[in-house]
Amino acid sequence: MGWGNIYKRRVKVFTLALVIYFDYKALQQREKWVSKSKKNSLWEKAHERNAKRLLNLIIELEGLWVKMGQYLSTRADVLPEAYIYFLRQLQDSLPPRPLQEIYRNIQKELGKTMDDLFSSFDDIPIATASIAQVHRATLRNGQDVVVKVQHEGIKAVILEDLKNAKSIVDWIAWAEPQYDFNPMIDEWCKEAPKELDFNHEAENTRTVSKNLGCKNNHRNTNSENYVDVLIPEVIQSSEKVLILEYMDGIRLNDSELLEAFGVDKKKVVEEITRAYAHQIYVDGFFNGDPHPGNFLVSKEPPHRPILLDFGLTKLISSSMKQALAKMFLASAEGDHVALLSAFAEMGLKLRLDLPEQAMMVTNVFFRASTPSSEALENMKALNEERTKNMKIIQEKMKLSKKEVSRFNPVDAFPGDAVIFVRVLNLLRGLSSTLNVRVVYLDIMRPFAESVLQGKISRGPATNAQWISTPVHSDLEAKLRQLLIKLGDDDKILGIQVCAYKDGKVIIDTSAGVLGRYDPRPVKPDSLFPVFSATKGITAGMLHWLIDNGKLKLEENVANIWSEFGANGKTSIKVHHVLNHTSGLHNALSGIPREDPLLMCDWEECLNRIAMSIPESEPGHEQLYHYLSFGWLCGGIIEHASGKKFQEILNEAIINPLNIEGEIYIGIPPGVESRLATLTIDVEDLKLLAGMGSRPDLPSTFQLGEIGDLPQMVAAIPILFNTLNIRRAIVPAANGHCSARALARYYAALVAGGIIPPPHTASEPPLGSHPHIPTFSSLHHKKKGSKSKEVATPKDKAKKDGHNHSHPTESESSTYGKKDAGKNYAKLATDITSSTSTSNNDTEYYTNKKDGKIFKNPKIHDSFMGLGEYENLVFPNGAFGLGFKRYNSKDGPLTTFGHSGLGGSTGFCDVEHNFAIAVTLNKMSLGGVTGKVMQLVCSELNIPLPEEFARFGGQGSDMQQNFDKPLIN
């Protein structure tokens, strides 16, 4: 193709693009001056004339534009009817190429004459497409075949068309930034040239046929992932000629013939969808061009789909395959955490943190298809949804209408995902073309589940990577053997165990996978939901304020927090709260049943706690404050310090112990890829069926029916896996941490506050992640409050004349560098850096220089309610001042800690200078934790607390949870 033809081709393409663009722009202005009844007519006429213009140019130019037209013709679900009507003609044959050209190309490519190759060759082609022309023929051995012959000079045409398409997309992205199709065209530019080598297509055809078992007569037809399709056998190939087995079939756009043969069109589309689900999720190798022209339906019953043309076939990595499956299942289950984690794994980056909108967009990908008759309504609904989302973005980022019209929320779109989305859109168009409705979630789900569960089902006995962290001691080696046995018995999904003895790390093991649908291995820095193990952290923060003179144990809470004095609570003291004797054990206990999302509203929860009514006199009865403990402590912490809860978390624990990024109470955006997902041990759940109502449960947990308990427990992972709950500050039940960070915290506590040597046992190094909490609680000076008014980050920004924004974890590597922020911000609500401190922080940090976080030499007695603190706790109660007291058969009380629902535990023994943490994502009755504790304590000759030895290893965590309140 000479430069003259290239120039003419380019001029025609850009001229038409401008004509269509300005036609619609002019119509947008014109419609403002016409009546509502005439608007539809104006738009229909515009669609018709522009569709004709587009069709005529595509037929004239051929090449890549034919493929683009074929793709557009399948989008009856979103494109105006006029475009579908005219562009559908491209699914039929284009004008045929001269027969002499066909003969010449065949003989040149295969090195034989036509007579040597074929006994007969039909001069009239079956089809003429954008790249090649197809003829029916019979080989010399009598076999019926089809011969696909590439057009002369088509390679230069395709490459030129790709350049022109790229230029047009660049121009559209500049003129209308919200319509930036660059990721799609970039991927197409990379993949489309592969279609020009028919040897490549031949190999792809063989591979897909083998993967789908098309030639395997012994397939298990009862298998959930069985696919019943046909693919022609490859007979011979060269770069420009491909000979395939002939299969007699009906074209999908031949509705009359489909009707005459009694073909079930919905069944055909569903089977094609199954075939693609298998290719994508099971094989990781799929055809990226499923337009109607690439399918036939066999004429013989059961009228199986025939898959053709594997020129544009995509190979994706195992990790991308898993990420796509995870994205699909996250969409199906509405799991925001899994969705954002899947995005991170596949390399899809968003410019802002709006998980709800991300879920909506993903749901659009996998929504059920609509018949073409519903295309107009469907297009309206999608436009309304898009307008709604852009309005939310505009409000979040405070953009003008002009700015929001040019805003693209996607920062990076991975090429592999581009072809995946294209396939989904083409399949949807296929459904619309045949006027059938297909529920993709139902069809594709078994395939997505199989790829993830297939990885997970490999237990530790067969998976060498089930435990990948190094061994630090003989004890750790023995522990691993126990974990492997428990893993093979399906009692462990993912687990971390870390222990300190005499200030040194002796165990630091991570094993298993992050979730039921997340086969990535657990790492030392993975974050596990630990439920009420969070209480031990919250209690430590309160003790830290007491140690620094900001608070007293005997102080009335109402003196610190004036609103708290309402409804007869003026006599409740700080030590009553820590000791679970305030009488507010039922405060806000109805939230999990009535409105779980109320837990996300920090200020509202504090207000409700302040207005709550006690059920018993302070100090008279110890009843576990399962949820109320957190907001009670949180309110005291904020009002006594004049700071936000998470600022004190940073100052008291995170920064001194150098455990940045591995303990959160309310996760920030950006850590989703490190989160473990909760599931439940079904066998243990069955054991709960025998538990009925108990008088020692809080009144809100008096169960009306025996079956209520297991149902409520089964719902807990669903609730606490949601992103809204994970991001909430619930200091009683919503900590996310690694075992090594939790163990380091208890190692400091067991040593009286002395900071242990740096934790160097595992990689990545502890403290290597930026700790960026969200500060959702705002402070104002209140009457009767000790606290001074503290400027919020936004206030400081206004005062300084700057807009302070902080990166999510994924941005940390570039944050602070030139142009790192560019012109956008990831919205993480109000965020303050872990390094930001107020003027009086020097006083708070006096002990850090000495390597201690507590000055009180009797801090252990304070934690456990012993010695001079004994009069502040309920006699012989299970709790000291914020910590669970563990009893052993022999010896004095020297152990304390806190466990969480499902098994996660933080624990230490003062006498033996021992601290341990266990984190789990498969919630059970505590057997796993109990067995771990039994082994470790036995090997170290440390007395085993009675609670961990009971019920065949049922740990104190589960006893506390199920013998008493549910949400520990």
Positions annotated as catalytic residues are 289
- Share in percent of the chain as helix, strand, coil (round to 5): 50, 10, 40
For 11, 24, 714, the CA distances from 18, given in Å and listed in that order, are: 11, 10, 58
Closest by alpha carbon to 575, among 785, 865, 784, 893?
A: 865
Distance CA 88, CA 90 (A): 5
What one-character DSSP code corresponds to residue 413?
A: -
For 27, 232, 916, 917, the CA distances from 502, given in Å and listed in that order, are: 78, 70, 12, 15
Distance CA 938, CA 953 (A): 13
Residue 455 is encoded by which pair of tokens? Answer: 């990885």
Q: Could you give the 3-state DSSP secondary structure of residue 237? A: strand
What residue type is assigned to position 451 of the chain? Answer: V
Q: How far apart are the first and last CA of the chain?
A: 74
Distance CA 347, CA 88 (A): 35
Containing H/E element for 55? helix 36-61
Distance CA 295, CA 273 (A): 12
Q: Judge contact between 380 and 441, C-beta under 8 A.
A: no
Q: Residue ranges of the alpha helices (H) in 897-950? A: 927-940, 946-949
Handedness of CA 456, 458, 459, 462 (dihedral sign): negative
Dump strand ranges (E) for 607-665. Answer: 663-665
Closest by alpha carbon to 577, among 544, 624, 612?
A: 624
> Across-strand partners of 350?
410
Ramachandran category for residue 923: left, alpha or beta (phi over 0 → left; psi -120 to 50 → alpha): beta
Q: Judge contact between 789 and 779, C-beta under 8 A.
A: yes
Distance CA 671, CA 340 (A): 9
Non-local CB neighbours of 769 within 8 Å, separated by 6+ positions: 525, 660, 661, 662, 671, 809, 812
Q: Is 743 exposed, middle or buried (0-12, 13-18, 19+ CB in 10 A)?
A: buried
3-state secondary structure 771-787: CCCECCCCCCCCCCCCC
Closest by alpha carbon to 495, among 103, 152, 920?
A: 920
Non-local CB neighbours of 301 within 8 Å, separated by 6+ positions: none
Non-local CB neighbours of 462 within 8 Å, separated by 6+ positions: none
Dump strand ranges (E) for 785-894. Answer: 884-886
